[in-house]
Structure 1
């Protein structure tokens, strides 16, 4: 009869759980800090191999190292270095054909003796591709087979048994990040490049969305002529749903703006609103921006001036659009 082991989870006190959690973080932080020794001539050699390669970077591994390899490939690809992940086992069963002599293979194995990775290493070399090994053991078989070795060794795992890959995988991931960022800088990969490879992300929206993409145009722009009464302007503020109206001349050049904030201040002044003309209470020289400006620039300008709306003018100072903070939020620019 199978004997069920007693549940021992309750034996750990809250304080013990906190201590264990902090100990893991300390061990892993130390492992990453110690990696500075790996940033040497071999690191430069690896970076140069990748920069000079006409092909792509293929990152491979199995098990936990495979998971880290997949993340490193994704980081490289998103920061200007074309890369993809190939599982070492799948490579040994046909996917090796995806690797060409123009490529660089980055193989991860903490022990440096992983059978699946060692199986494909000679074939990679025969194909003419360059091989970079990232292991925790510079004397390992994989390290010796490689064109260059990156040492991701750690003093110990964060696992109390010193068995589960913890500190070693954290170190490998950090070293992969270091390589990716060094390559990013070397390639001159900037925010615009990053945005183009992340069009669906927040940074992509901030760097690719222009004012013209989201501004209100045509009849959606609240505006009244200079000859409008205060009541007529107030009706336009309500109709437009932007909390403001522009005041324009016959050529659609803005002469001023009237906002909800102006209305609140006016209501406290005791002025007889029924007799007012809008030109008497409008704010002259309203803030404006061009349609080709980045929407993020419009957001920054509005935040700096503490305004909630901004007019959009073309090169001839003609009103062609209007933008509010709500528009920017709806477009997820802010």
Structure 2
């Protein structure tokens, strides 16, 4: 009887092991950060799950990959990220993936020509009709490291659309049987993005000439696309506090009424913003560059853009 029980036990164990292999314990798509997950979720809706690597409240600028994160990347069917200049913590793990499982937004065809440097002050405004005016870089720029560019690429509606198309293409290769659903998802995303673009253009038009300071240089693509006129930013890297001379320059501009708002961020609430604005008429607002309180869904990316627009408009209008 004991021998029979042992046989049943081993048979059950073997069955459990086989079942554990058959059932994937990971999301098919792993996105580096939430806004990238927003775009992926729009295309993968109803087809395959999407998981976000970076926890809420963490910064892509200083995150360290955990062993469990490396495992999630290894077993993902598709990893979508901005690129090594943004998520340096992922570089080693992603380098081990085959090309069909790796989608870096910075490497998508057509994105290179839209890249801007962090200090780009040229006129790259948006006409409100769905076209982003951006000066093409010459051929030599294609050989430069992306580290010279502002890599907050999810802030550009045009780059987001190109990303959605690229994700659609990757998923078609992985799941050709779901072509009809994937095609419908891409069509829905592009239509919602176009409609949201028009609404945001109208919402931000009255505040285009109002100056403001942002905490760090994360919003360049959004600002240029919609014609906003930032006075400047406190820091390029949010991990590094601005120096005394920089703070004095900002304080002087606030006193001289060259800016009506200063914006903090949910994950970075530096005391320097309160200190520099004290005693002035400047309003304080918050911009969320990662959409921290938005859940992944079919329409989460357009919700993210709309929320960002409202955060700008509320402070700049003084509502």
Q: What TM-score do you get using the length of structure 2 for normalisation? A: 0.28
Normalized per residue, the structure richer in strand is 1
| Greater radius of gyration (CA) | 1
